[in-house]
């Protein structure tokens, strides 16, 4: 577990009825659920939802489970967040353990590679302004940089992640 990116409670700032810079406390997550259909990531702690991010971006071919390298699909199934990468080509990234043994076996049976390097990440480094709209990744899950800050602080290595169709 990368303890440098975790805190007992991650404190973030949000604008809203309470005004700018009102603190929002998010407990450390023990489970992440990505709902591809509803375009959300929900963080859970002790079985309770503690935060939801809406409007996530997926791979350019978002329908269906990732089968092969280069298919631009986002995987579906149960995986693990294996590590955080602060040196990513995108604003921070959390590695997802795709492919699992079943993914690899399926691809091999079809004479192909399952691919890999699937992450939750922010926007491309150096990008300013609003996040890229629409599905634009090669199979990753993209969020705004502010949302990535929240995930970076709240999702430790080893966290279970379910990616639903």
The answer on pLDDT for 125 being more than 70 is yes
Residue 24: pLDDT band (50, 70, 90) is low
Q: Output the pLDDT for position 20.
A: 47
Quote the DSSP letter at residue 156. Answer: -
Report pLDDT for 26: 87
Q: Residue 164 — very low, low, confident or very high, per pLDDT cuts 50/70/90?
A: very high
CA distance 116 to 140: 10
Task: Please state the rounded mean pLDDT for residues 60-76.
Answer: 96
Average pLDDT across the chain, whole number: 89
CA distance readout (Å), 73 to 27, 28, 31, 121, 136: 30, 28, 22, 15, 10
User: Please, what is the Cα angle at 101 between 88 and 148, to 5 degrees?
Assistant: 25
């Amino acid at each position: 577990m990368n303890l440098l990116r975790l805190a007992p409670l991650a404190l973030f700032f949000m604008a809203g009825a309470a005004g700018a810079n009102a603190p929002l406390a998010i407990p450390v997550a023990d489970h992440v659920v990505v709902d591809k259909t509803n375009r959300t990531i929900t963080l859970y702690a002790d079985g309770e939802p503690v935060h939801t991010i809406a409007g996530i971006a997926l791979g350019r071919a978002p329908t269906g489970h990732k089968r092969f390298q280069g298919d631009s699909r986002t995987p579906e199934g149960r995986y693990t967040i294996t590590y955080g990468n602060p040196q990513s080509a995108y604003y921070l990234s959390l590695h997802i353990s795709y492919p699992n043994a079943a993914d690899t076996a399926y691809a091999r049976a079809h004479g192909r590679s399952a691919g890999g390097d699937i992450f939750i990440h922010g926007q491309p480094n150096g990008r300013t302004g609003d996040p890229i709209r629409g599905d634009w990744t090669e199979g990753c899950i993209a969020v705004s940089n502010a949302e990535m800050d929240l995930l970076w602080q709240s999702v430790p290595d080893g966290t279970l992640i379910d990616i639903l169709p």
